[in-house]
Structure 1
Amino acid sequence: MVAWCFSVVIALGGLLPLSAYAESELLRDAVVASDSQSEFTLPDYQKVPGIAGNLLSVGSDTLAGMTTLWVEAFKTYYPNINAQVQASGSSTAPPALTEQTAQFGAMSRAMRMREVEAFEQEHGYKPTALKVAIDAIGIFVHQDNPIKGLNFAQIDAIYSATGRCDDAPAINNWQALGVDASWAKRKIQLFGRNSVSGTYGYFKKNALCGGDFQARVNEQPGSASVVQSVASTISGIGYSGVGYRVAGVRSVPIAIQGNDYIEPSRDNILSGEYPLSRYLYVYVNKHPNKPLSPIEAEFIRFIYSAQGQALVDKDGYVPIGRTLAQQELAKVGLSERVN
């Protein structure tokens, strides 16, 4: 989703992230036209002759499954291409694009200003950000944890060392949140992503109001390992993309404030009601006066086709609508191919 400079507003005596409100509004705007069925009827991908060469995507672990599905499906149309996916974290995408060691940079956040500036200094123009799917950050607990929901102030008090959201006392066990269980007095085991992850940065900005994480957060190298760690730890909590839910955990409804909890359902994510919703991106190096290479152009067309967005849904994320797909294609000089 679009990166917003951190800001806060006073709300019911506490500090809440303005970006959470702004990003939800953007998602609502993206589906204003979704009343008609045609908004979600994307064109089928059509194979074209002459596509060959190498295709490399570097970046987000969150997008690893989805990007791999795209690449594997794309290779069924063009079996002679050499396509690879490297997924070590969103922060690896900007240097790969800048140094031209990859054509695509998958990111679960927007590029930071310094990353854009480094690219522009090298190439003389900015990288192009393409919104390819809608995601949400889920808060996961062990399946036996009866907690009904959490609000941003409580999440901040659990995870943060700085308490910027509400300046409330730190919460170290589930008993402090009203959980009545034999294990509730145990210290909460915290799981999260490492600092190269876009999910880490998004959660820090939006759920912790820009504050710092506690040093005892068990940082994991991938989204799946966060959720798997929670599944094996009855007093655990972790944040990860909602698409990574596995047996043994459940996602906790969350509220910006109070106990007006919102489930991370497909409808709530698509409407922007779920407060930790975001866009997922693929960045490309598109010269303003030159076309993309044929393999790059066709891969992007595939992403915005019915087949490409069906794979978004298959991987547990929310596909984008036709209007937004057309807008994103236009950014790189492409348009829908008429069936």
Structure 2
Amino acid sequence: MRRWTAAALMLLLGWQAGGTPAQAVANDRSLLPLMAAWQQALAQEQPDVAGALRWPRGGDVAAIGALMFELADVAPLSRAPLPAELAPYAHQFAGDMMKSPVLVRVAMRGEQPMYLAFNKRPDTPPSAAVRTWVGFALGPAGQRLVAQQPGLRPLTGAELSRELSKVDGYVAPLDPALPIYVAGAPVQGEISSVGSDGMKSLMERWMNDFRALQPGVRRGQRWEHLGTLNGFHALMANETDLAPMGRELWPDEAAAYASQQGCQQPLEIRVARGGFNTPQRTTAQAVFVNAGNPLQSITLPQLAAVLGAAPTITRWGQLGLTGDWANRPITVAMPPRITPNAMSMQMMVLKGRAWNAAAREASVADTAKAIAADPATIGFGGLEDGAPGLKALAVAPGEGSPPVQLNGETAANGRYPLTRYMYIRLQPQPGQALPPPVREFLRFILSRQGQEPVVYSGYFPLTAAEVAAELAKLE
């Protein structure tokens, strides 16, 4: 059986992708002097950022590996990544939905763009340090340094504006009242974790940062994050200490757990708030109507009266519309009832009660099409499931409460009523305290240091009040 070296495999795949063998393995280091010049200049303005930012010195062939294993914050690239480089990258970040790094043009060499590459979760800005570095590189001082490099030219004003937009995005603030984790007596031991692929990167970051403060703790034999259901079944089988899960515990799961373990439910610790526009991740739920529908907002009780069994709101006039709309029947379109979106809405809005029997179930894409095609249809899903012809309604918790539009700020601060959480679930022994390594690890996650990386994960950090409620569960 032939064994391929990494270089030979890259050569083969690069050739098949349409490049020449030389192009596939060429290692351009021409940006390294510019990177060093930027770092030296930035150190005069912001020494903390310049000194802490990590970037690989090995040229093009080192860039993707450094980013893939998050050993670098930014990486210089004189070309776009090759298909052979992106295949393992997309697999590494499957739970984060990152199929490639973000490429920001920072200079031109003839007609060839020169890039800074960095990781960015969908609908999440890069870290403050990366934004600072990119902003400097694309700013007047950074572009003057580009002009001083042989063979490179700075970008035009229009080009700079386009590239700067790639680091835009809502950045959720950290609650200043979040507690600082201070390591007490050293703890030792292993912690196993099985669960959500969407929390894989967070779990890795949390453990790495925690071990810097508690080096006696290490990953257990099971440390695998392939999916939320994996975590649930590992918990049921007593095969893990921690089960990171990206959604609520569904009623059937709670019943199965109680039957298996002889207790009501596992200990449930909220560790982050869900996002608001992140594909295939835990997001807030949007309520959609046709773009031509004049309705602007809805309350949770009204929504329950539309979506629930034996609905009491069946016509648009009951939601306040007049004229030709008053007697028009409401049609309900929804994703399949077994999907996370539907299960989440059933728990949050219907409190576990049955659905409207007349609701039309279809795939997420077909549900969006149905709403866009019919002005009298209402439905729901993640904001990322929206499409041309749809409008997301503002949602109020109840009568007399102001309706809240779904956006980054209202999802992050919890004002939008249909936000969700990320959890770590575990099975404590009755009458016994949590094992010290587990308790300290959870205390770290529920600290300012633990919540800081959540800001750049596609999710949102908890408030100090939410953290206090979760910390109380550890006592």
**TM-score range normalised by the length of the shorter chain:** 0.5 to 0.7
Question: C-alpha displacement at 1:93, in angstroms?
Answer: 5.5
The match for 1:57 is 195
TM-score by length of 1: 0.57
Asked if the contact 1:45/1:305 (under 8 Å) is kept, the reply is: no
1:278-325 CA-partner distances (Å, limit 9, x unpaired): 55432111224254373x446534432335423443355442233542
User: How many aligned residue pairs are there?
Assistant: 271
- Cα distance in 2 for residues equivalent to 1:281 and 1:80: 19
Asked if the contact 1:134/1:319 (under 8 Å) is kept, the reply is: yes
Residue 238 of structure 2 aligns to which amino acid in structure 1? Q
The change in CA–CA distance for 1:126 and 1:158 in structure 2 (over 3 A counts) is closer
Q: In the alignment, does 2:225 pair up with 1:85? A: yes
Question: C-alpha displacement at 1:254, in angstroms?
Answer: 1.7
Q: In the alignment, does 2:281 pair up with 1:149? A: no
The match for 1:203 is 345
The match for 2:270 is 131
1:168-203 CA-partner distances (Å, limit 9, x unpaired): 3256xxxx967999xxx9995723353363x53442
1:49-78 CA-partner distances (Å, limit 9, x unpaired): 9676642125xxxxx53x233124246557
Q: What stretches of structure 1 of length at least 5 have no aligned partner?
A: 1-35, 59-63, 221-225, 334-339
- Cα distance in 2 for residues equivalent to 1:150 and 1:258: 11
Which has the greater radius of gyration? 2
The match for 1:11 is none
Q: In the alignment, does 2:427 pair up with 1:285? A: yes
Question: C-alpha displacement at 1:269, in angstroms?
Answer: 5.3
Question: C-alpha displacement at 1:99, in angstroms?
Answer: 1.8
- Structure with higher RCO (Cα < 8 A, 6+ apart): 1
Cα RMSD (Å) of the superposition? Answer: 4.9
Residue 148 of structure 1 aligns to which amino acid in structure 2? Q
Q: What stretches of structure 2 of length at least 5 have no aligned partner?
A: 1-173, 212-217, 275-283
Asked if the contact 1:254/1:263 (under 8 Å) is kept, the reply is: yes
Question: C-alpha displacement at 1:137, in angstroms?
Answer: 2.9
Question: C-alpha displacement at 1:240, in angstroms?
Answer: 3.6
Residue 251 of structure 1 aligns to which amino acid in structure 2? A
Residue 159 of structure 1 aligns to which amino acid in structure 2? L
The change in CA–CA distance for 1:150 and 1:293 in structure 2 (over 3 A counts) is same
Within 5 Å, which residues of 2 pair with 1:190-339?
190-192=333-335, 194-195=337-338, 197=340, 199-208=341-350, 210-214=353-357, 216-218=359-361, 226=364, 230=368, 234-235=372-373, 237-240=378-381, 244=384, 251-255=392-396, 256-257=398-399, 260-265=402-407, 268=410, 273-277=415-419, 279-287=421-429, 288-292=431-435, 294=437, 296-297=438-439, 299-333=441-475
Q: Per residue, is there more helix in 1 or in 2?
A: 2
Q: In the alignment, does 2:201 pair up with 1:69? A: yes
The match for 2:279 is none
- Cα distance in 2 for residues equivalent to 1:86 and 1:178: 50
Asked if the contact 1:108/1:279 (under 8 Å) is kept, the reply is: yes
Question: C-alpha displacement at 1:42, in angstroms?
Answer: 4.5
The match for 1:97 is 235
**Correspondent of 1:169 among 301, 314, 334:** 314
- Cα distance in 2 for residues equivalent to 1:239 and 1:114: 27
The change in CA–CA distance for 1:257 and 1:97 in structure 2 (over 3 A counts) is same
